[in-house]
Amino acid sequence: MNLTEIQDCLHEKNFPRLKKELLQGQIADIAEFIDELDDKNTLLVFRLLPKEIAADVFSFLSLESQTKLSSLVNETELHDILNDLQFDDKIDFLEEIPANAVKRILQNSSETERALINQFLDYPTDSAGSLMTIEFVDLKKEMLVKDALEKIRKIALTRETIYTCYVTDARRRLEGIVSLRELVIASPDKQVGEIMNEKLIHVQTLDDKEYVAELIKKHDILAIPVTDNEQRLVGIITVDDIVDVIEAENTEDFYKMATIGEMDTSPLKADPLFLIKKRLPWLMVLIFVNVFSGAGIAFFEDTIQQVVSLVFFLPLLIDSAGNAGSQSATLMIRALAVGDVKIEDWFKLLKKEFAVAIPIGLVMGLGVSVVGVFRAGIDVAVVVATVMSLVVVVGSTIGMSLPFIFSKLNLDPATASGPLITSICDITGVLIYFSVATWYLGI
Amino acid sequence: MNLTEIQDCLHEKNFPRLKKELLQGQIADIAEFIDELDDKNTLLVFRLLPKEIAADVFSFLSLESQTKLSSLVNETELHDILNDLQFDDKIDFLEEIPANAVKRILQNSSETERALINQFLDYPTDSAGSLMTIEFVDLKKEMLVKDALEKIRKIALTRETIYTCYVTDARRRLEGIVSLRELVIASPDKQVGEIMNEKLIHVQTLDDKEYVAELIKKHDILAIPVTDNEQRLVGIITVDDIVDVIEAENTEDFYKMATIGEMDTSPLKADPLFLIKKRLPWLMVLIFVNVFSGAGIAFFEDTIQQVVSLVFFLPLLIDSAGNAGSQSATLMIRALAVGDVKIEDWFKLLKKEFAVAIPIGLVMGLGVSVVGVFRAGIDVAVVVATVMSLVVVVGSTIGMSLPFIFSKLNLDPATASGPLITSICDITGVLIYFSVATWYLGI
């Protein structure tokens, strides 16, 4: 698939060649190409796709293009696309378009399907239910392996995965799991019940999708079954969807740690007003926090008046505390997020933090004392070096503890953002700095 | 698998029951349990495991436990474990243990295997080669589907995945891919060549593993073939290993953005000296950067002497600039990392940044002016509000541009850490603040 050539064909309206070139690409590449087109060309190129791959390409399109396309195609076309979509992709799409558009689409569905779709649309966005698909292979314990294989053969085309099959009883309760690999290896006349694995890893519809991701990562599995609260199998979640969940969770943590609110569009596509709404709230909260640093400084106005050179070192000292604190916080937030560390480990980690922060503080104090002597004399240098060692240790302790405190309060540990820690370290830094200076310099 | 019960059994040395309890757990759970044990119990519990699952459990153990175990078991046991490990897990293990231990282990391997292992150990840590496994299914174009299925049946047990099969020519060059699903659906007397997919997605041994992760994510595939520079198929990489790569890359970015050096152990297990080495360098660099803020303040000593209340607002103003800058930087770093934004988009994003930062700056200026009037009178309030608007816009611009600049210099955009941006915003903030104050207050 040669992009410039395709662009040329589009420009020259050479559609037969455009189609030929396009079909040499992978589905994801075709979708990526369509994502970049304007309205007119989106519809034009999409209509060139053979019916067998149209729905597949549609499922790889960005949400923006999906919505655009669904408003551009006619009712029959939309119906055909939706019919060919895998169930979880269909739900993903329906979740994002306006409610009246969903209604219009559902009018063309059978009553059973409409009920099913509505049930899926009701699952909370962060739940396992919202991620699962109903297109799995279910087998019965009493089936012979050869019959199971024959069944799989027949329905393979319409299933999201055939590589893990699920064994259910008459009331649809999950009894076991058997992989296609095990079925292929087993002797054809064995019963499925003899080879299935009864040690089940499964989740429930309302479990958080982060928990689902954790299980799939931990056990290195390709799919996980989802059951309702009566242990009935209602769907499965496959690893490709989990990869997206992992990326989204990481993005959320990155944003939280930089005081940006939840958003799932790229900054390139996001509306400025939307970005302002995501960025402004925490910035305003932090102004409020920072006012206390100002109050601290005001309290020491006399000291500053007498030794103005103390102000030179203010940004240096409070920044260093904030930097050390951000390091500790990030180490803890990440370790909590990937499960390397649990909330009970706090005290053990606190002891280690001292073993790390004290030497770091001393080295930094030593480093800054050189600058201090050179700029403001021995006395100020002693104050600055002492304060540096102190604030680095205090900052590190604050930084490493905050994620645990947030976690304990059932908040996301990532709320302990760099900016928040910087602001808190500022206040403590100001107080420590000017107290030590006032005392040591005898002001 | 009941953890307290297992602990009790271990305590009471009731090994038969311990074994029974243990085997009710998933492989990953058994490994997790062993990971927490001390030396003596690690060996003891590991020896209880039936041979069929011992290697499997071993592959799920943490690196620390693997190394510990390999030094505790006798030569025959180690040989047995390694023999049963999947090839990529074996390489992962050998990559991490000391060179002389590798040598001793390799003495027991056949010459061909030794050569192969050495070749794999030579691949750079970040390359596709270091991730791949050689245990794939290869088929020939001329094979009938039924014969291919028969072959898969026979070798399924020893292959990492049988769900994607690879079609190679006589010289081992990759010609096509066929999924087990397609083989199962196809009529048994067709040739593999007729149903295989010739549109190949593949990587080369020296490609970066981040690139491999990107392709697997983009195309939603379960495995990707790896070829050498003569297009010969040398291995495959499966999605479960890629999930770990994605997590590791994210951790690396989190650490970089908090000025922590590369590390792949948890803070709980890391040695304090190791943590100091990872944290100290950037903290020292930032002291150096911060000295310039001090110099800036020194330059305006007269202004400060005359209006000391200006110092109250210093932390507030420079922090706000840094916070807004960190937000912009994080948005860009993440968008660049997940591929939402390309380096060419810089100018387009800069324009949008202005559309976002100017309103944010104005609102924050307005907010801080209230504090200013209350604390230091109208004149200082005007200065502080103006400066706030200015530094937020300047800080945002610096924050959004730095990741692009680093990227352009072939450095990781994540090097534009919050602390670095805070320090740079400090310097610019100090200069803008006191310049405006000196001018407006007529000092």
- Rounded Cα gap, residues B443 and B441, in angstroms: 6
pLDDT digits (tens, 9 = 90+) for A19-57: 888 888 899 999 999 988 888 889 989 999 998 889 889
Give the pLDDT of residue A85.
86
Give the pLDDT of residue A268.
81
DSSP element (H, E) containing B28: helix B27-35
Give the pLDDT of residue B38.
87
Give the pLDDT of residue B258.
87
Angle A225-A231-A237 from CA coordinates, rounded to 5°: 15
Asked whether the domain spanning B272-440 has the same topology as the one spanning B137-248, the reply is no
Which CATH superfamily does the domain covering B137-248 fall into? Answer: CBS-domain (3.10.580.10)
Q: Are strands B137-139 and B164-168 parallel, antiparallel or unpaired?
A: parallel
Per the DSSP assignment, residues forming a β-bridge with A377 are none
Interface membership of A360 toward B (CB under 8 Å): yes
Give the pLDDT of residue B212.
94
Give the pLDDT of residue B110.
82
Fold entry, domain A3-122: MgtE N-terminal fold (1.25.60)
- Kindly determine whether residue B315 and residue A308, on different chains, have CB atoms separated by under 8 Å: no
Give the pLDDT of residue B144.
95
CATH class held by domain A272-440? mainly alpha
Q: Reply yes or no on whether the pLDDT at A404 is more than 90.
A: yes
Instruction: State the burial class of residue B256 (Cβ atoms within 10 Å of its Cβ: 0-12, 13-18, 19+).
Output: buried
**In the predicted model, what is the mean pLDDT of residues A313-332?**
92
Give the pLDDT of residue B193.
94
* Percent of residues, chain A, with pLDDT higher than 90: 40
pLDDT digits (tens, 9 = 90+) for B63-81: 888 888 888 888 888 888 8
What residues in B contact A372, CB-CB < 8 Å?
A: none
pLDDT digits (tens, 9 = 90+) for A160-190: 888 999 999 999 999 999 999 999 889 999 9
CB atoms within 10 A of CB B198: 11
- Rounded Cα gap, residues A214 and A228, in angstroms: 19
Higher pLDDT, A76 or A326: A326
Interface membership of A424 toward B (CB under 8 Å): no
Question: What would the two tokens of residue B148 be?
Answer: 């291919």
Q: Are strands A223-227 and A203-204 parallel, antiparallel or unpaired?
A: parallel
Question: What would the two tokens of residue B260 be?
Answer: 């922590």
Contact between A238 and A263 under an 8 Å Cβ cutoff? The reply is: no
Give me chain B's average pLDDT, please. 89
- Rounded Cα gap, residues A206 and A36, in angstroms: 36
**In the predicted model, what is the mean pLDDT of residues B336-348?**
88
Give the pLDDT of residue A355.
93
- Smallest CA-to-CA distance from A364 within B287, B260, B198 is with B287
What residues in A contact B348, CB-CB < 8 Å?
A: 268
What residues in A contact B217, CB-CB < 8 Å?
A: 243-244, 247
Question: Which of A338-352, A382-396, B91-105 has the weakest average pLDDT?
Answer: B91-105
Interface membership of A199 toward B (CB under 8 Å): yes
Instruction: Compute the residue count for chain B.
Output: 443
Give the pLDDT of residue A388.
95
Q: Reply yes or no on whether the pLDDT at B163 is more than 80.
A: yes
Compare all CA atoms of chain A with the CA of B368 and give the residue at the minimum distance: A287
pLDDT digits (tens, 9 = 90+) for B284-325: 989 888 888 888 888 998 888 888 888 889 999 999 999 999
Give the pLDDT of residue A374.
82
CB atoms within 10 A of CB B101: 15
Q: Out of A157, A335, A392, whose CB is closest to B268?
A: A335
What residues in A contact B257, CB-CB < 8 Å?
A: 254, 257, 330
Instruction: Compute the residue count for chain A.
Output: 443
Q: Which of the four CATH numbers 3.10.580.10, 3.40.50.1980, 3.30.930.10, 2.30.30.110 does domain A137-238 have?
A: 3.10.580.10
- Smallest CA-to-CA distance from B93 within B73, B112, B110 is with B73
ipTM of the complex: 0.82
pLDDT digits (tens, 9 = 90+) for B385-432: 999 999 999 999 999 999 999 999 988 898 888 899 999 999 999 999
Q: Reply yes or no on whether the pLDDT at B328 is more than 80.
A: yes
Compare all CA atoms of chain B with the CA of A427 and give the residue at the minimum distance: B315
- Kindly determine whether residue A418 and residue B258, on different chains, have CB atoms separated by under 8 Å: yes
Three-state DSSP state, B271 = coil
- Rounded Cα gap, residues A81 and A71, in angstroms: 13
Give the pLDDT of residue B373.
83
Residues 217-246 of B with CB under 8 A from A: 217-222, 239-240, 242-244, 246
Q: Reply yes or no on whether the pLDDT at A433 is more than 90.
A: yes
Q: Taking the CA of residue A253 as centre, how many other CA atoms within 13 Å lie in the half-sphere pointing to its CB?
A: 28
- Rounded Cα gap, residues A394 and A317, in angstroms: 12
pLDDT digits (tens, 9 = 90+) for B108-154: 778 888 888 888 888 988 899 988 988 899 999 999 999 999 999 88
Give the pLDDT of residue B203.
95
Alpha helices by DSSP H, listed for B258-345, are 272-299, 301-306, 309-312, 314-338
Q: Where are the domains of chain B?
A: 3-122, 137-248, 272-440
- Smallest CA-to-CA distance from B263 within A367, A441, A340 is with A340
Q: Reply yes or no on whether the pLDDT at A381 is more than 80.
A: yes
Question: Which of A296-300, A349-353, B261-265 has the weakest average pLDDT?
Answer: B261-265
Q: Reply yes or no on whether the pLDDT at B229 is more than 90.
A: no
Compare all CA atoms of chain A with the CA of B339 and give the residue at the minimum distance: A266
Give the pLDDT of residue A173.
94
